[in-house]
């Protein structure tokens, strides 16, 4: 959509500020409306410094913290899917349920990825 006609998407470096405001608004809305996102941000605030401290080099630190960032990204996308599904009505529909369940599964897979990355990096040191 960034290149569509009559789009509000930024077209010059001066309009990047507007795009930043939209992104920050999306984060603020997700924070305000999604309790799971708030919980994941709290976990990120606790685990990211730990990951930076426990990583022995830049690659390990990037993997430890990056896996946590990925959970936040997918949670925002899952919340966006849920908002779109809810926009079209509150009555139950198989496709709406499927979309919500798949979004939840994506977050779950990211959570498993965190466990895998942290386990593969940290467990060999302790065993």
98-127 residue pLDDT tens: 999 999 999 999 999 999 999 999 999 988
How many structural domains is the chain composed of? 1
Q: Determine the pLDDT at residue 37.
A: 97
23 in any annotated domain: no
Could you tell me if residue 4 is inside a domain? no
pTM comes to: 0.87
- Let me know if residue 29 belongs to a domain: no
DSSP per-residue letters across the chain? -TTSTT--S--SGGGHHHHHHHHHHHHHHHHHH-HHHHHHHHHHHHHHHHHHHH-SSHHHHHHHHHHHHHHHHHHHHHHHHHHHHHHT-SS--HHHHHHHHHHHHHHHHHHHHHHHHHHHHHHHHH-
CA-angle at 28, arms to 116 and 52, nearest 5°:
35
pLDDT digits (tens, 9 = 90+) for 41-92: 999 999 999 999 999 999 999 999 999 999 999 999 999 999 999 998 778 8
Distance from the Cα of residue 27 to its chain's centroid? 10
Q: Does residue 90 lie in a domain region?
A: yes
Question: In Å, how far are 7, 36, 78, 102 from 93, measured between CA atoms?
Answer: 32, 23, 18, 14
Q: Is residue 28 part of a domain?
A: no
Residue 26: inside a domain: no
Q: Which of 56, 75, 91, 94 is catalytic?
A: 75
Catalytic-residue membership of 60: no
Q: What is the CATH number of the domain that holds 105?
A: 1.10.287.3610
Is 49 among the domain residues? yes
* pLDDT for residue 9: 61
Report the pLDDT value the prediction gives residue 71, as an integer from 0 to 100.
Answer: 98
Q: State the residue range of the domain holding 62.
A: 35-126
Residue 22 belongs to some domain of the structure:
no
Q: What is the rounded CA–CA span in Å between residue 61 and residue 57?
A: 6
pLDDT at position 97 over 90: yes
- Judged on CB neighbours under 10 Å (0-12, 13-18, 19+), 29 is middle
């Amino acid at each position: 959509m960034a290149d569509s006609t009559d789009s509000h998407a930024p077209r010059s470096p001066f309009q990047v500020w507007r795009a930043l405001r939209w992104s920050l608004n999306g984060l603020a809305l997700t924070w305000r409306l999604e309790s799971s996102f708030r919980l994941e941000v709290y976990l990120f605030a606790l685990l990211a410094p730990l990951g930076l401290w426990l990583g022995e080099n830049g690659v390990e630190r990037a993997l430890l913290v990056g896996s946590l960032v990925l959970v936040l990204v997918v949670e925002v996308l899952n919340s966006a899917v849920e908002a779109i599904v809810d926009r079209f009505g509150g009555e139950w529909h198989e496709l709406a349920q499927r979309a919500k369940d798949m979004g939840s599964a994506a977050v779950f897979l990211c959570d498993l990825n965190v466990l895998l990355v942290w386990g593969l990096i940290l467990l060999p040191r302790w065993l």
